Amino acid sequence: MFFSLINRRISNIKASLVYSQLMAVLSKSKILGLLRSGKLKIMPFDEKQVGAGSIDLHLGNTFRVFRDLHTIFSINDEADYRKITRVIKVLDGRKLIISSGQLIHGITVENISLPKGISGRIEGRSRFARVGLLTHLSSGFVQPATHGKIVLEIANLSPLRLAIYPGTTICQLILEETKGNGEYSGRFYEQNEP
């Protein structure tokens, strides 16, 4: 029993070492260096947005909400979320109320251009998670060479209604180096609305 636990721990350590050799989270100095060189572009941008290992991003004022449909939506390769949602705009200084259990799509203010050797992932902020607000549900990965704004799948898991405001620092982008150069050219390249 003891040796099996030791072997399992050694396997976990080896897996961690392999992963750390494949990808590394970029630090503040590396992020700022990429920005200054022009390889990484963020617009609008303020240097205060860069933390020790992430970049703060702000909530835009365009949202996609679900229509009040009482139907079954088929999940398959042809599924188009636009058929069951609608776009709304919230003026600066105004709020959008998210009911308990509700899912909406938001988008960042910032337009991001990643270089080919850098990928990213979106993470929520703990101050919002602690009240039940998730800023992305399942698609937090940002492909290398992505260009555009980042769509957020925002969900209210709290028992309360929550008010969100455009301009709020809603999430953070963590950047990682990839082995080799990849380039995203998929369906959501250069997206500008949720």
| Cβ 188 vs Cβ 139: under 8 Å | no
Q: Mapping DSSP to helix (H, G, I), strand (E, B) and coil, where does residue 19 land?
A: helix
The catalytically annotated residue of 153, 176, 177, 190 is 153
User: Which sign does the torsion angle of CA 128, 129, 134, 139 carry?
Assistant: positive
Whether 153 is a known active-site residue: answer: yes
What is the number of other CB atoms lying within 10 angstroms of the CB of residue 107?
A: 21
Nearest to 41 by CA among 117, 147, 143, 169: 147
Distance CA 173, CA 176 (A): 10
Question: What positions carry a catalytic annotation?
Answer: 153
